[in-house]
A and B are shown apart, each in its own frame.
Chain A
Amino acid sequence: MNDYLPILLMIALVFAFVGVSFVASGLLGPKAPNSAKQSPYECGIVPEVEPAERFPVKFYLVAMAFIVLDVEIVFLYPFVTVFRQLGLFGLIAMGVFVFGLLIPFAYLLSVGALAWGPVQRRLSAGIGPVRRSAGAVFDPAAPTAAPEHEAA
C-alpha cells in the first residue's frame, strides 16, 4: 500500500499546481482591462462576425475523407521501401488494403457527401434524394417520445 504514495503525491501535486497558478495570477497580475483584451480571441484583429455562426457539416465529411487518404499514405510509404523484399505477397496484400480504402470513397459518393452545391440539387431533382433521413423509432426508455411510430 505504501507504494501507492507516489500516486497520491502526484494527484496532490496536480491540484496544488492548478491552485497555485490561479491564486498567483490573481494576486500578482496587474489588472488593466480594456475592450481589446476582453475579446474572445485576444490577437489584435477586430472580429468581423460573431463566433457562434452555423457552418456546414460538410466540413467534417471533408476531414474524414482526408483521414482515409492520410491512412493510405502512411501505409503506402513504408511498403514502398520494402517493395522488393515482399514481392508478390506484398503486392497482393497492398492491393487488398487499397481496395479496402476505396470502399469509404464509394460510401461517401453514395451518401452524397461529395456532391456539393448545384450538382447535388440537380441530382436530387433528377433521381430523388439518395438516402432518407430517419424518422423516430419507438423508445422503450421514453414512452411518449415517439408518437408517429406505428409499425410495431
Chain B
Amino acid sequence: MNPGWDFHAIAPEIIISATIIVVLIADFFFQYRRRFQTSQLATIGVLAAMVPVVTLAVNGGTRQMFGGAFVVDPYSLALTGFFLAAAYVTLLLSVDYIGDGDYYQGEFYVLLLTSLLGMMVMTSARDLITIFVALETISIPTFVLAGWRKHDPKSNEAAIKYYLIGVLSSAIMLYGMSLVFGLTGSTLLRDIALAAPRTPHTSLLIVAVFLTLVGFAFKVSAVPFHFWVPDTYEGAPTPVTAFLSVSSKAGGFVAMLSIVFFGFFAVPDTWQPALWVLAAASMVLGNLAALRQTNIVRMLAYSSIAQGGFILVPFAVAADGHAARSSFEAVVIYLLIYGAMNLGAFAVVIAFARRTRSAEISTYGGLGSYAPSFAVLMTVFLLSLAGLPPLAGWFAKFVMFRSVLDAGTPGATVLGVIAAVMSVVAFFYYLRVVREMWFHPVPDSVNPEPVQIPLALNAAIGICAAIVLIVGIYPQVFARIGELAAGG
C-alpha cells in the first residue's frame, strides 16, 4: 500500500538525497588524488535534480502530500529551481578553493548538498514541524562548513558564533511555535490560518508569532539579530560565505513567506509591526555600518544585512491596501535577483583573493588597469547591488517600491522613504570599491602579474553576470516567475 506518495512531486528531493549517499560512498573508494571527482558527482546530482523541477513546472498544478504538510506548487518550484541554481554556482566557486586546500573534499560536498536538501524541503513545507526540520537541515551542515578552515582561529570563531546563535534562535522559534500550536490546535499552516483569527487570546498569539519570527530574523540576519553575521562571514571560507549569504538566508525568507502568507495573513497585527521595525532597523544599520568597513567580505556582510532589510519591506506592508499580491511577488523576485548579484560579487572576491590573498578594499587599487575584465564585472555586480539601471538590482528595488505604493498607508510610506534614503547611502560604499578599482594606483603589496583563474570560477562569474545583465535589460523573465509563484 502506498500511503499517498507522489514520487514525481518529491523527485528533486529524492535525487539530491541519493546524490548525498553516492558522494559519501564514492569518497570511501576514491584515491586521495582523485577526490576532486566527488565534486563532479555532486554537480551532476544538482543538475539532474533540475530535470524533475522543469517537468513539474510544465505539468503545472498543485500537488499535496502528507496531509497538506508538503505542497508542490509554482511557488515552491520557482524557489527550488533558485536553490538548485545557487547551489550549482556555489559548487563552481568551491571546487578549486576546497581542492587547493588539502581538505576533506567528499565531506564538504555532502554537507553542502544536505543543506541544499533542507532548502528544497523548505520551499514545499506547509507545516510548522516540517518547516522546523527543514530549517535545522539547512543550518546544521552550515555550522560545520563555516569552520572548514579548522586550523584558522577565525574560522573556528565563525563556526562557534554561528552555532551558538543558530541553536539559540531555534530554541526561541520552537517556543513560539509551541505557543502557536497551543492557541490554534494545529501545526498545519492551512488550519492555523483558519484558527488564528478566531482565537480569543490575541495578546498571547502576538507573543507566539513574535517569537517564531525572531527565530527566522536570526536566520535572515535582520537587525537587531545580526551581530553574528560579520564575524561568521569573515571567518568562514569565502565560498561558504557566499552560500550562507544567499542560499541559507533565502531559506529563512522562504520560511517567513510561508508562515506569514499561508499561516497568519488574516491577523496582520501580530506580525506587521515587528517586521516593520526589523526592516527599518536592518536597512539603516546595515547600510550605515557598511560605510565604515575596510574588508570587502565584511562590507558585503553588512550589505547583505541591508539587502535583507530591503527584502523585509514588502513583508511589512503586505496586509495594507492591495499590496498582498505585489508584496509576495516582490519578495520572490528580490530573492532571485539578490542571489545572482551577490554570488557574482563573492565569485570575483574569490578570484581576486587567488591573486592577492587579501580581502582588504585598499588592495583593490588599480584593478582596472591590470585586470580590466574583472574590474568591469565587479563594477557590474556592485552597481547592481546598489540598484543602478540597467542592471538587475534596479528591478528588485522597483518591485519592492511597487509593493510599498500598493500599500499606500502612512506606515508604508515612512518605510518607503527610509528605503529610498538608504538606497542612496548604499551607493557610497559600493562606489568606494569601484573608485578604488578604477582611479587608485596599484598598491605595492599587489603583484599585477596575471594569475590563472580556474575555469569553474570563470563559469560561475559568467553565469551570474549574464543573469544580472539579462534580467536588468529584460526584467519580464523574473517578473513572470514572480507572477507564477504568486498564483498565475
A89 to B207, CA, bound (A): 43
Task: Note all chain B residues with C-beta closer than 8 A to A4.
Answer: 206, 210, 273
Are B102 and A135 touching (Cβ within 8 A)? yes
Q: How far apart sit A141 and B350, CA to CA, in the bound complex (Å)?
A: 10
- Cβ-neighbour of B350 out of A140, A143, A145, A149 (below 8 A): A140
Q: Are B104 and A134 in contact (CB under 8 A)?
A: yes
User: A31 at the A/B interface (Cβ < 8 Å)?
Assistant: no
B347-377, CB < 8 A from A: 349-350, 352-354, 356-360
Asked whether A141 and B203 contact (CB < 8 A) given A106-B28, A134-B151, the answer is no
**Nearest B residue to A138 by beta-carbon distance?**
B357
The answer on a CB contact under 8 Å between A136 and B151 is yes
Task: Establish whether residues A139 and B21, one from each chain, have CB atoms under 8 Å apart when the complex forms.
Answer: no
In the complex, whether B1 has a CB less than 8 A from a CB of chain A is yes
Give the distance to chain B from A141, nearest Cβ to Cβ, in Å. Answer: 5
Compute how far the CA of A134 lies from the CA of B17 in the bound complex, rounded to whole angstroms: 27
Query: What distance in Å separates the Cβ of B201 from its nearest Cβ neighbour in chain A?
Result: 10
For A106, the chain B residues whose CB sits under 8 A away are 25, 28
Question: Does A51 sit at the interface, judged by CB under 8 A?
Answer: no
Complex interface: stretch among A5-13, A38-46, A59-67, A115-123: A5-13
Does residue B152 face the partner (Cβ distance < 8 Å to A)?
yes
Residue numbers in B under 8 Å from A139 (CB-CB): 149, 152, 154-155, 357
Asked whether A141 lies within 8 Å of B295 as measured between CB atoms, the reply is yes
Q: What is the 8 Å Cβ interface bit string for chain B, positions 172-216, against chain A (1 contact, 0 not)?
A: 000000000000000000000000000000111011001000000
Instruction: Give chain A interface residues in 126-151, CB to chain B under 8 Å.
Output: 131-132, 134-143, 145-146, 149, 151
Among A7, A135, A142, find the residue whose CB has the most chain B CB atoms closer than 10 A. A142
Given A134-B101, A151-B100, A152-B354; A142-B154 close (CB under 8 Å): yes
Is A14 engaged at the interface, CB distance under 8 Å to the other chain? no
Residue of B nearest to A85 (CB): B1
* Contact assessment for B207 and A6 in the assembled complex, using a CB-CB cutoff below 8 Å: yes
Q: Are the CB atoms of B204 and A141 closer together than 8 Å?
A: no
Closest CB-CB distance, B71 to chain A, in whole Å?
21
Bitwise interface map of A from 86 to 104 toward B, beta carbon under 8 Å scored 1, else 0: 1101100000000010010
Alpha-carbon gap, A82 to B350, bound state (A): 53
A107 beta carbon closer than 8 Å to chain B: yes
A124 close to chain B: CB less than 8 A: no
The bracket for how many chain B residues form the interface is 35 or more
Which partner residue on chain A sits nearest B98 by CB separation?
Answer: A137
B118 surroundings in chain A (CB, below 8 A): none
When A140-B359, A141-B295 are in contact, do A10 and B3 touch as well, CB less than 8 Å?
A: no
Interface size grouping (class) on chain A: 20 to 34
A21: CB under 8 A from chain B? no
Kindly list chain A residues whose C-beta atoms are within 8 Å of the C-beta of B206. 3-4, 6-7
| Distance A66 CA – B27 CA, assembled complex (angstroms) | 23
Q: Does B66 contact A (CB under 8 A)?
A: no
Q: Check if B101 sits within 8 Å of A87, measured CB to CB.
A: no
Whether, in the assembled complex, B297 has its beta carbon less than 8 Å from a beta carbon of chain A, the answer is yes
Tell me whether A57 is interfacial, beta carbon within 8 Å.
Answer: no
B210 touches A143 (CB 8 A): no
CA distance A98 to B219 in the complex (A): 32
Report yes or no: B357 in contact with A134, Cβ–Cβ below 8 A.
Answer: no
Query: Is B238's beta carbon under 8 Å from chain A?
Result: yes
A16 smallest CB distance to B (angstroms):
17
CA distance A132 to B269 in the complex (A): 56
CA distance A141 to B27 in the complex (A): 30
Tell me how far the C-beta of B456 lies from the nearest C-beta in chain A, rounded to whole angstroms. 14
Cα distance A134–B104 when bound, in Å? Answer: 8
- 29 A-B residue pairs with Cβ-Cβ distance under 8 Å, sorted by A, are A3-B206, A5-B203, A7-B210, A10-B207, A87-B1, A89-B1, A100-B21, A103-B25, A132-B32, A134-B103, A134-B150, A135-B151, A137-B97, A138-B100, A138-B357, A139-B152, A139-B154, A139-B357, A141-B234, A141-B235, A141-B238, A142-B154, A143-B357, A143-B358, A143-B360, A145-B152, A146-B357, A152-B100, A152-B354
Q: Which 3 A-B pairs have the closest CB atoms?
A: A137-B101, A140-B353, A140-B359
- Given A3-B202, A134-B102, A137-B102, 17 other A-B residues pairs in contact with their CB atoms under 8 A: A4-B273, A85-B1, A86-B3, A89-B2, A134-B101, A135-B102, A137-B149, A139-B154, A140-B353, A140-B357, A142-B154, A143-B356, A143-B358, A145-B152, A151-B100, A152-B100, A152-B354
